[in-house]
Amino acid sequence: MRYIFRLVLMLIILAAIAVVAYTFIGDLTAQRSIVETPVTLEVD
């Protein structure tokens, strides 16, 4: 039981390190682009 707990704890720690490393290394910025849509207004 002690070894299973140790294994699960190590996997959680490794997963946390992987997530933190991905946020610093991975490109998580959103791609920006200008969107223009013409609108016709009918005024009576």
In the block, tokens 């946020």 appear at 23
User: How far is the C-alpha of 12 from the C-alpha of 19, rounded, in Å?
Assistant: 11
pLDDT tens digits for 1-44?
A: 899 999 999 999 999 999 999 888 876 677 889 999 999 988 87
In the block, tokens 């009576």 appear at 44
Q: What one-letter code names the amino acid at 28? A: L
Q: Is 8 exposed, middle or buried (CB count within 10 Å of its CB: 0-12, 13-18, 19+)? A: exposed
Structure confidence at residue 31 (pLDDT): 83
Structure confidence at residue 28 (pLDDT): 66
For CA atoms 11, 17, 21, 24, give the dihedral sign: positive
pTM for the predicted model, two decimal places: 0.55
